[in-house]
Amino acid sequence: MNIFVFRSQAELDAKACELVKAVIHSKPQVTLGLATGSSPVGMYARLVDEVKAKRLSFKSVTTFNLDEYVGLPADHAQSYLTFMNQHLFNHVDIDRANIHMPSAEGHDLEANAKAYHDALWSHTVDLQVLGVGSNGHIGFNEPGTPVDSTVHVVRMHKQTRLDNARFFNSLDEVPEYAISMGISDILRAKKILLIATGAKKAQAIKELVKGKITVDVPCTILQTHPDVTLLLDEDAASLLS
Ligand code: GLP
């Protein structure tokens, strides 16, 4: 596992941008797994700057996002599609046909999950970007999610809903369900880049790096992946020796 600890958010974001850019430039067609949440926001801003400066293009990039809330219309201010549009897709030259998000609309969510799984597994994900929840979840894979899980409908834990309530007017407005890539989907990526900042992530990061591998702390399973890079600030790294 490669672990980088940064004194400033700007340095962390620059490194994240550089790593993603290197993957995009590494071959003619690349597939990225992308994450939402506050952790990758600065990285997306830098990638947008690179595209605007014509040092980077997303024309050859296909994307698959990790997860989406159930119960919010796609154009809702807090849907993950809206997030991705605002932070990346609306500002880069990606072909919209190459953007994939789990669909949380309609009545047959299991069918949506299956369709997303099939589309995902028809690609090799070159790099998966991840954040981590304070309880160690990755994507929306909450504690207890089996290692062989694939795209599935998730009931979010109370802690996750509390953590995400800051983006909504009240806890009641936070959806209870989401559709998420599973652990096996995440592990399939050739490279994994996980970004974590703030003291609230310190325990999860400690477990991720040196805890026992257990489904009770989903991020610990990343210890089994051959190419994981962690980009941390000093607070998130504070429980590592
Ligand atoms: C949500 C997302 C995760 C994300 C996590 C951390 O639960 N489903 O993909 O990693 O939040 O978010 P943040 O980066 O805002 O701390």
pLDDT in tens, 193-212: 999 999 999 999 999 999 99
**87 is a catalytic site residue:** no
**pLDDT score, position 75:** 87
Residue 88 domain-assigned (yes or no): yes
Contact 124, 17 (CB under 8 A): no
**pLDDT score, position 143:** 95
| 132 alpha carbon – ligand 1 mean position (Å) | 6
The pLDDT-based confidence of 62 (bands split at 50, 70, 90) is: very high
Range of the domain at 152: 2-233
Among 9, 12, 36, 43, residue to substitute to test ligand 1 (most atoms within 8 Å of Cβ): 36
Candidate list 137, 164, 207, 233, residue with the active-site label: 137
Q: Which atom of ligand 1 is nearest to the CA of 132?
A: 10
| 29 alpha carbon – ligand 1 mean position (Å) | 27
**CA gap 214, 183 in Å, rounded:** 12
**225 is a catalytic site residue:** no
| 167 alpha carbon – ligand 1 mean position (Å) | 11
> Edge-to-edge strand order for the sheet containing 152-155?
67-69, 177-180, 152-155
CATH number at residue 104: 3.40.50.1360
Residue 123 domain-assigned (yes or no): yes
Residue 47 domain-assigned (yes or no): yes
Q: How many structural domains is the chain composed of?
A: 1
Residue 240 domain-assigned (yes or no): no
Quick check: 66 pLDDT over 90? yes
35 lines ligand 1 (CB under 6 A): yes
Taking only the tens place, the pLDDT of each residue in 96-143 is: 999 999 998 888 999 999 999 999 999 999 999 999 999 999 999 999
Among 38, 39, 43, residue to substitute to test ligand 1 (most atoms within 8 Å of Cβ): 39
Taking only the tens place, the pLDDT of each residue in 35-48 is: 999 999 999 999 99
Question: What's the mean pLDDT when you consider all of the chain?
Answer: 96
Residue 184 domain-assigned (yes or no): yes
Residue 239 domain-assigned (yes or no): no
Residue 241 domain-assigned (yes or no): no
The pLDDT-based confidence of 94 (bands split at 50, 70, 90) is: very high
Percent of the chain beyond pLDDT 70?
Answer: 100
**pLDDT score, position 73:** 86
Candidate list 13, 50, 67, 163, residue with the active-site label: 67
The pLDDT-based confidence of 58 (bands split at 50, 70, 90) is: very high
| 38 alpha carbon – ligand 1 mean position (Å) | 7
Quick check: 3 pLDDT over 90? yes
Residue 85 domain-assigned (yes or no): yes
**CA gap 104, 74 in Å, rounded:** 8
Q: DSSP secondary structure string, 115-154?
A: HHHHHHHTS--SEEEE---TTS-BTTB-TT--TT--SEEE
